[in-house]
Structure 1
Amino acid sequence: MTRDVEWFTGRCRQVGTGIFGDRYGYALWLGLLVTFGLYWRVGIFITDTYTTANALVAVSNGHLHITETPYTLTLGAQPGLHEAGGRLYGRNYGQILLAVPLVWALQALSVLITPRLLLLGLWSGTALVFVAHVSVLRQRHTDTTKRTVLWVGSGLVAVLFLIGALTATTLPDTAIPIAAFQISTMLAAATTGVVLYRLVGIWHDRSVALAAGVAIGIASSVGFWASLPKRHVLVGLLLLTTVYLFARSRIAYADSRDRLGLGFRAGAYVTAGLVTWTHAFEGFFLVVTLALVDLVTARRNSILHLAVVVLALFLGSLPMLVTNFIISGNPVEPPRLLTRVGGANVEFTPEIGGDGGTGSGSGTEGAGTDGGTGGASDGTDGGTGGGSGGTDGGTSGTSGSDSTEEGSDTGTPVLTPLLGLFERLRGPVAPAITFVSDTVRNGLSVLTTPDRMSQIFLRSGSAPGINYAPNSYEAIELTMVEAVPLFGAVAALPVVLVRSANQRIRQWNVRPSQYSPRTQTDMLVTALVAVFTLVYLSRLPLHTQLTVRYLLPTVPLIMYGVVRIPAVYEPISDARWWLAGGYAASTIGGLCLGLGVVAGLDLALGEAVQFHALLNLGGAAVCGGTVLGRTLAPDWVPSRAVVLGLGLPAGLTTAYLLLSGLVYFQYGPFALDFIRVLTPHLPAV
């Protein structure tokens, strides 16, 4: 018995090491989850979530099609609803399937514990494990210090649990699927921090890797979307995981461990293929970009290796192919290419036909049904409309093949079904290719419009041509730099790239396959950021983009690029305690300043958000100035100045994340009642 327990414990440690890397990665993961829970509200923030939440309920009940709408009464408020075979379907099924086990687990536990106390207990248990883990991290601490950290932290968690339990309010059972959906996104966001920690840890020391993991979790827009069940967080995690596996494969190949390298290389393609299960077009761009960089930089491209790569990509795409086949009967036709359903004031009728769906979809083409999703739907449904037409064309072609077979006996019983299958698969592919080419071409045209690029990346305010009526005419949008002011450090990137290029030209090292694994990984990151930015430029800016959510998958990759700048990672290693102190002071200062300004000037929501936008731009300027100064004149800018310049925007971002969840955006009740008890003392917008 003892031997079995030891074997099981050893296996668990191996799995934990494989996922988190070490105890610091595990503590980072727990800490991010605890932080996300502090500003977690159980509710629907963006109207797109109505469809995916209803689809989640359907899948948790054992079927893919939607038969009831527990979260809305009409189809008009549900962007992303599609029809096939007289049934209604959602989209993003990869994201939905991830949350289904959580729905089942919460529903099973809610039989014994009320939903409100269940969520409180889950958070408190996670917080206790985090405290216990942190208390033993540093080996140099004395036993007295470790016990003090453990007792103080555990006592604080116990007090918060008692406050929440004694003041618990009712949470309906219908909130359980939404809560599970949000938990799945929080798990993805926390895991993104761990993957970035492990990826950066390959090239730099632990302090730099931890700083990167913490920054992506609570000092970037990933933390804003952590408790909002949108696909962007999950796609960002899969992109970053693909890069991590690619980096490990290049390291293994460089060490002449071809079998291990091939395993990691195949894993990267499996992860890339899984993106298609959530968003087929994003998965397409990821696979194409990965394949190009991989083939150019690989040291082994034998037939065997390429065959394994193709098989891995097929396995990663298999869930998407199976789901598509079950829904539409066509493995290459994702839900986004089906007939769009939903119009103003259309009642829920599961028996709605294809014609009715088409008519409703056309009727809503110009009507944004919500703040933010109206613009999003226009961009997406531009491809959807073409997809429907292409599908019809493919169906007609198939019918023609069938009639030919019936009209004449050609004696080719095998060739005719294959031609029919080809025509059927060609139907969705043609409009998809058109959509992809139009997306790239339109994105390139946006690059030539400086004003629009500025509204996406630099300064938002009230952008011309955007309908702010759904947001009560308030500018609540942030650009990339306003949302993540740490990206001000990118100002030093051109200097770094020019120096790197000059060095390679002098060494005559121009063959990518001979580059170091670190440089090859940097190439993949650069290519992915460029591609995933380009394909969404034509849809930006839009109302209720909040933090440029379409570009959220690139945020972990850009954060990796920031950390890779020598003027960033060298000072972090030299002055990490100054970084921690500057970050803490900036966070507290940002909270006090934000609350003081909101209360003193009686700001509305849009005014409060724009105040933070200007504040974050100032932090980005300081960050960019210190990093650029260190890059150009390292002897003149000390490490302490750089880390303080990094800590300032990071702390301001954390302050905004907390205030946005606690004060600014009130879309549902807090998951934790002790937060509800404390927030009435804060000023309201």
Structure 2
Amino acid sequence: MSTLDSGVAGRLAARTEAVRTGVWRLLFGDRVGLALFLCGLCFFGLYWRLGIYITDGSAIANTLVNVADGRVVLTEVPYGSGLEAPGTYIGSDGPVGRNYGIVALAVPVLYVLQGLGAVLDLGVVLIGGWSLALLGAVTTVGRLVDREWVVVGGSVAAVFAFLANVAFATPVAPTLYPILALQIVGMVAAALSGVFCYRLVARLHGRRIGVAAGAAVLVATPIAFWAALLKRHSFTVLCIAAALYALARSRTASESAETRRFRALAYVPVALLAWIHAAEALLLFVPLVVVDFATADANDRRTLAVIAGTFTLSLAPFFLTNLLVAGSPVEPPRMLPSYGAMEGLDLSGGGGGGGLLTTVPLVGGLLRIVTRFVALLAEGAVVALTEPGRWFRTFLRGGYIPAVASEDGFQAIRLTVLESAPLLAGLTAAPVAAGLWLRERGRAAVGSHLQSAAGVVDTVALATGVLFVCLFLPRLPLHAQVTVRYLHPLFLLGVYGLARLPAVRSAVTANWRTTGLAYGGTVLIGGQLVVIALAAIQPGLGEAVQFHALLALATATVLAVWAVARTLSETVSGRAGAVVLGAAAGVGTIFVLLSGIEYFSYAGEFALPVVRWFSAALPLA
């Protein structure tokens, strides 16, 4: 018996280890990915506030409370304005919420928090979790760079941070548990976005530029701003990053079975995104399926069966949720009538039709979605071509727009894409680089490039970005955006595009120390100068945000000039570009930190009590 038991235990242990290794590789890829993930969580934790920032965040919190109790209908609504909160709809059996994919991921986290809160002080648990993440981050980084002092010094800092925060810890009310669960899964999604960006770029161009790209996503773009807020945008970015990575792996695989597997896996994030926001999933699905099948080496029956089977199985939660909520597997919550004031993206297309639409509800539902979706994209294309002013106010300079500011407390707290992430100014060189590439290689090389892994990913990324712009541009500029959150994926796609530029790659890889020093100096020294300047000016909230906007535009202008000049001539200093790139990333980080720690700190108590003290000590309030 003992021999048999030991054999079973051995096989069970081996299978458990295989599953653990498989999950680890699926999520992080390698130790660098793990380091980026942990560093991202630590960074987000610096300004993590335990509360609801935007009013429609209360709807998803209410949805989680009810789903955790085993129902999709909202019978208990403890947050916000109850059923009148934006994001509440009229379902087949009563009021329902949305973003059920996020809610499903948050349910087990909520159960864990409730269990821990029953026996421990959850405030101390959160501090301990952040400190352990910091310990893991410094240990992993120290071993990667083979610097024992990083491990020792970082470990001491993690212990000190834990003790300092515990000294000021306060209890966490159980009513905050659902909000914390949603915030935790949001931060995990944002951190994984940086990991998949690193893996994608490293697959195409090497580890060094991959690390730079992943780190930029995590700390230098608004992806960090929205990580801990109750919105879907972090999950949208994660799904796009994961799909692009799987697509790249399918084109670099050496065996047909591996190619088939990764082609199928590329559609799994699309299904997850459909469970969260069906319209955004379509924006990713259409370019992905067209480019994938148009550029694949083989589309045989077996491959089609694997892809179709995987995608259909992945869509099962989406169909089941729709059936429970709306009574139709193809009608997502956002197509339902709003319970309160109309908001969100309307894909309903008005009233229903007759004939085939009534006889075959599934066909009618699909046709309504497709028709409305195409109409919205066409409207966006027309707006993009005929209203250059909207482009300018969305991408370049916003400032004070009366119609928008009136909904934001008459404060100019909205930034454009470039003001939010000055690092993206380097994309100014993309058309120049493309023109030079065509002149050197000729149009005949375009076809072969589009068949390559980089060309395939480029095409899907560009098409997805264009579709996002077409869908949302008619609604912009809009209040409660801060960093143009409807175009959130453009920050990920923009960083990927930067990494694809030869001028940027050569500057970063050849001068990576300079890039890091420029970034660190900008954040540590430049951040203090920004605080001093703002303390002297004593601005209001809107004026402080616009100060960051002007600072970002100034940095972006320098970066754009360098990127174009370096692309045109290799005699332009790459080291200077490394400095400008690091500075632009640092300017983005400064806004993320100050906005979280100081400007919008009213959204709730900080998870780290020391940050609460630091926020109160800043002379900006």
For the aligned pair, the TM-score class normalised by the smaller chain equals: over 0.9
Q: CA deviation at 1:526?
A: 1.3
Report the CA distance shift for 1:664/1:395 in structure 2 as closer, same or farther (over 3 A). farther
2:179 equivalent to 1:241: no
Following superposition of structure 1 onto structure 2, how do residues 615-634 of structure 1 map, counting pairs within 5 Å? 615-634=551-570
- The residue number in structure 1 matching 2:320 is 322
Following superposition of structure 1 onto structure 2, how do residues 176-325 of structure 1 map, counting pairs within 5 Å? 176-252=177-253, 255=254, 257-325=255-323
Report the CA distance shift for 1:397/1:133 in structure 2 as closer, same or farther (over 3 A). closer
Following superposition of structure 1 onto structure 2, how do residues 407-486 of structure 1 map, counting pairs within 5 Å? 420=359, 422=360, 424-447=361-384, 448-463=386-401, 466-486=403-423
Q: Is the 8 A contact 1:231 1:278 kept in 2?
A: yes
The CA distance in 2 between the partners of 1:681 and 1:534, in whole Å, is: 44
One-letter amino acid matched to 1:310: A
Q: CA deviation at 1:575?
A: 0.6
- The residue number in structure 1 matching 2:78 is 70
Q: For residues 45-93 of structure 1, what are the alpha-carbon distances to aligned partners after superposition, in whole Å with 9 as ceiling and x for unaligned?
A: 01111111100111111111111111124433x1111112341100111
- The residue number in structure 2 matching 1:126 is 133
Q: Is the 8 A contact 1:443 1:538 kept in 2?
A: yes
2:56 equivalent to 1:58: no
One-letter amino acid matched to 1:457: F
2:596 equivalent to 1:652: no
2:538 equivalent to 1:602: yes
Q: CA deviation at 1:181?
A: 0.5
Aligned counterpart in structure 2 of residue 109 of structure 1, from 113, 116, 122: 116
- The residue number in structure 1 matching 2:433 is 496
The CA distance in 1 between the partners of 2:550 and 2:144, in whole Å, is: 38
Number of residue pairs aligned between Structure 1 and Structure 2: 611
RMSD of the alignment, in Å? 2.0
Q: CA deviation at 1:633?
A: 1.1
Q: For residues 309-345 of structure 1, what are the alpha-carbon distances to aligned partners after superposition, in whole Å with 9 as ceiling and x for unaligned?
A: 2222212222111110111221011111112112xxx
Q: CA deviation at 1:652?
A: 0.7
Runs (5+) with no aligned partner, structure 2: 1-5
2:501 equivalent to 1:536: no
One-letter amino acid matched to 1:43: G
Q: CA deviation at 1:564?
A: 0.6
Following superposition of structure 1 onto structure 2, how do residues 315-464 of structure 1 map, counting pairs within 5 Å? 315-342=313-340, 364-365=341-342, 377=343, 380-381=345-346, 383-384=347-348, 386=349, 389-390=351-352, 393=353, 398=358, 420=359, 422=360, 424-447=361-384, 448-463=386-401
Report the CA distance shift for 1:647/1:513 in structure 2 as closer, same or farther (over 3 A). closer
The CA distance in 2 between the partners of 1:485 and 1:545, in whole Å, is: 17
Q: What SS class does the counterpart of residue 90 from structure 2 fall into?
A: strand
Report the CA distance shift for 1:551/1:322 in structure 2 as closer, same or farther (over 3 A). same
The CA distance in 1 between the partners of 2:356 and 2:235, in whole Å, is: 37
TM-score (normalised: structure 2): 0.94
Q: Is the 8 A contact 1:597 1:603 kept in 2?
A: no
The CA distance in 2 between the partners of 1:333 and 1:10, in whole Å, is: 39
One-letter amino acid matched to 2:435: V
The CA distance in 1 between the partners of 2:217 and 2:92, in whole Å, is: 43
The CA distance in 2 between the partners of 1:153 and 1:475, in whole Å, is: 40
Report the CA distance shift for 1:14/1:83 in structure 2 as closer, same or farther (over 3 A). closer
Which deviates further from its counterpart, 190-199 or 294-303? 294-303
Q: Is the 8 A contact 2:356 2:364 kept in 1?
A: no
- The residue number in structure 2 matching 1:34 is 42
Q: Is the 8 A contact 2:37 2:191 kept in 1?
A: yes
One-letter amino acid matched to 2:83: L
The CA distance in 2 between the partners of 1:532 and 1:470, in whole Å, is: 24
The CA distance in 1 between the partners of 2:300 and 2:507, in whole Å, is: 43
Q: CA deviation at 1:396?
A: 11
Report the CA distance shift for 1:203/1:396 in structure 2 as closer, same or farther (over 3 A). closer
**Percent of residue pairs identical:** 38
The CA distance in 2 between the partners of 1:8 and 1:323, in whole Å, is: 31
Which deviates further from its counterpart, 34-43 or 526-535? 526-535
The CA distance in 2 between the partners of 1:198 and 1:95, in whole Å, is: 24
- The residue number in structure 1 matching 2:94 is 87
Q: CA deviation at 1:461?
A: 0.5
Q: Is the 8 A contact 2:559 2:581 kept in 1?
A: yes
- The residue number in structure 2 matching 1:683 is 619
Q: Is the 8 A contact 2:93 2:325 kept in 1?
A: no
One-letter amino acid matched to 1:316: S
Runs (5+) with no aligned partner, structure 1: 343-363, 366-376, 399-419
Q: Is the 8 A contact 1:512 1:520 kept in 2?
A: no
The CA distance in 2 between the partners of 1:150 and 1:282, in whole Å, is: 42
